[in-house]
């Protein structure tokens, strides 16, 4: 089976939205330093572009989590693959994610981070698939709400490919 990619959100539209998000975050954190936590691997492309557009002081850290449970869908069992390097106690923390869909993994992750005593904890995502939500997750900053389609680009992958696309595309599978 082969696939092709149809553009859902062109590069210019993604760039403009990230610029607007950076401006909003800068206003919301005026007079503070924001500690960005990137959820790897997909969030790294979005984090870099977003951080360049935030005008308040920024610090960064990274986490890698996996959720599993058999089959192709997450059952909400979360494993921390790479934890934070620094404490987040008393910091204004913004979790940066590439996509929110079922909410299972993020709900667990946010609860765990809350227990570590940050001054504030917010969530920022480039893409949101509300149709897929199984667990309620409050998203503070959303780039785009998208339909329930398999998407790639801007850090999102299909079998570790297409992360480097400068746009968001829908994967369409061709019959062989």
Find the CATH number of the domain harbouring 58: 3.40.50.2020
Peptide bond into 163 cis (omega under 30): no
Supply the pLDDT for residue 175.
76
Who wins on pLDDT, 65 or 18? 18
Supply the pLDDT for residue 68.
57
What are the catalytic residues?
A: 101
- The DSSP bridge pattern shows strands 151-152 and 34-40 to be unpaired
Q: Please check the confidence at residue 5 and state whether its pLDDT lies above 90.
A: yes
Q: Among candidates 86, 81, 47, which has minimal Cα distance to 64?
A: 81
pLDDT band at 70 (very low <50, low <70, confident <90, very high): very low
pTM for this prediction: 0.92
Q: How many domains does the chain have?
A: 1
Does residue 159 form part of some domain? no
pLDDT band at 16 (very low <50, low <70, confident <90, very high): very high
Q: Are 46 and 98 in contact (CB under 8 A)?
A: yes
Does residue 158 form part of some domain? no
Does residue 52 form part of some domain? yes
Domain boundaries, position 143: 12-147
The whole-angstrom separation of Cα 122 and Cα 173 is 36
Supply the pLDDT for residue 72.
42
**Assigned token pair, 6:** 């149809």
pLDDT tens digits for range 72-116: 455 557 889 999 999 999 999 999 999 999 898 899 999 999 999
pLDDT tens digits for range 128-163: 999 989 999 999 999 999 999 999 999 999 988 999
């Amino acid at each position: 089976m082969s696939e092709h990619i149809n553009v859902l959100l062109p590069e210019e539209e993604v760039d403009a939205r990230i610029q607007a998000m950076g401006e909003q975050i800068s206003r919301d954190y005026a007079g503070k330093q924001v500690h960005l936590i990137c959820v790897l691997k997909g969030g790294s492309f979005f984090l870099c572009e977003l951080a360049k557009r935030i005008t308040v002081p920024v610090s960064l850290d990274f986490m890698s989590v996996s959720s599993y449970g058999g089959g192709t869908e997450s059952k909400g069992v979360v494993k921390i693959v790479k934890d934070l390097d620094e404490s987040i106690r008393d910091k204004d923390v913004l979790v940066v994610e590439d996509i929110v869909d079922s909410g299972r993994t993020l709900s667990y992750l946010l609860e765990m981070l809350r227990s570590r005593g940050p001054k504030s904890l917010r969530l920022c995502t480039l893409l949101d698939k509300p149709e897929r939500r199984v667990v309620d997750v409050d998203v503070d900053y959303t780039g785009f709400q998208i339909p329930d389609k398999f998407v790639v680009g801007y850090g999102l992958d299909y079998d570790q490919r297409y992360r480097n696309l400068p746009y968001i595309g829908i994967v369409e599978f061709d019959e062989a």
